[in-house]
Structure 1
Amino acid sequence: MIYRSKAPLRLGLAGGGTDVSPYSDLFGGAILNATISLYARASIELLADNKVIFESADKKESYTYDAVYPLPMDGQLDILKGVVNRVVKDYGALPSGFKLTTYVDAPSGSGLGTSSTLVVAVLGAFAEWRKLPLGEYDMAHLAYSIEREDLQQAGGKQDQYAATFGGVNFMEFYKGDKVIVNPLRIRDIYLHELENNLVLFYTSTSRLSSSIISEQQKNVNDKKEGSIEAMHQLKEQAIMMKEALLRGTIDQIGEILDYGFKFKKQMAQGISNSQLDEIYDAAKQAGASGGKISGAGGGGFMIFYCPRNTRFQVVEALNKFGGDVKRYHFTNNGIQTWSI
Structure 2
Amino acid sequence: MIIESCAPTRVDLAGGTIDIPPLFLFHEDAATVNFAVDLMAHCRIETRDDDKIVIESIDRAEKFETSLGKISQLKDELRLELLSKLVYFFKPEVGFTITTKSEAPAGAGLGGSSTLNIACIGALNRLVGNRYTPDKFIPIAANVETQVIKVPAGFQDYYSAQYGGAACIHFRPDGIEREALDFDTKTLEERIVVCYTGEPRNSGTNNWEITKRHIDGDVKTFVVFEGIRDTSLNLREALLANDWIKTGEILKAAHPQRKSLSPNITTPQMNLLIKKAENNGAIATKVCGAGGGGCIAFFCEEGRKNDVEKVLAKELEAEVLQWNLCKEGLTVKEL
Q: What is the TM-score of this pair, normalised by structure 1?
A: 0.93
Report if the CA contact (8 A) 1:19-1:157 is conserved: yes
Report if the CA contact (8 A) 1:4-1:128 is conserved: no
CA distance in 2 between partners of 1:236 and 1:10 (Å): 21
CA distance in 2 between partners of 1:97 and 1:135 (Å): 23
CA distance in 2 between partners of 1:320 and 1:269 (Å): 26
CA distance in 2 between partners of 1:14 and 1:33 (Å): 7
CA distance in 2 between partners of 1:16 and 1:198 (Å): 18
Report if the CA contact (8 A) 1:15-1:235 is conserved: yes
CA distance in 1 between partners of 2:319 and 2:106 (Å): 16
Note the residue ranges of structure 1 that are not aligned, 5 or more in a row: 89-93
Deviations 1:235-283 (A, max 9, x none): 1111121111111112332222121111111223411123212221221
CA distance in 2 between partners of 1:265 and 1:298 (Å): 10
CA distance in 2 between partners of 1:223 and 1:320 (Å): 44
Aligned residues: 331
Match of residue 79 from structure 2: 76
Matched, 1:183 2:185: no
Deviations 1:23-52 (A, max 9, x none): 212224210111011111101111111111
**Residue identity in the other structure for 1:225:** V
Match of residue 313 from structure 1: 307
**The residue matched to 1:206 in structure 2 has which SS?**
coil
CA distance in 2 between partners of 1:336 and 1:289 (Å): 35
Match of residue 50 from structure 1: 51
Equivalent residue for 2:320, pick from 301, 318, 325: 325
Note the residue ranges of structure 2 that are not aligned, 5 or more in a row: none
Deviations 1:280-336 (A, max 9, x none): 122111111102110011111100011221122212221232211111111111110
**The residue matched to 1:30 in structure 2 has which SS?**
strand
Deviations 1:125-165 (A, max 9, x none): 01222232434431111111111146624431111122112
Matched, 1:280 2:274: yes
1:161-240 equivalence runs, <5 A: 161-175=159-173, 178-186=175-183, 190-240=184-234
**The residue matched to 1:331 in structure 2 has which SS?**
coil
Match of residue 130 from structure 1: 128
**The residue matched to 1:289 in structure 2 has which SS?**
strand
1:30-69 equivalence runs, <5 A: 30-67=31-68, 68-69=70-71
Report if the CA contact (8 A) 1:251-1:307 is conserved: no
Q: What is the TM-score of this pair, normalised by structure 2?
A: 0.94
Equivalent residue for 2:144, pick from 140, 146, 150: 146
Q: Higher mean Cα deviation, 235-244 or 126-135?
A: 126-135
**Residue identity in the other structure for 2:82:** I
Match of residue 86 from structure 1: 89
Over the matched positions of the two proteins, sequence identity in percent amounts to 28
Report if the CA contact (8 A) 2:142-2:153 is conserved: no
Match of residue 24 from structure 2: 24
**Residue identity in the other structure for 1:250:** W
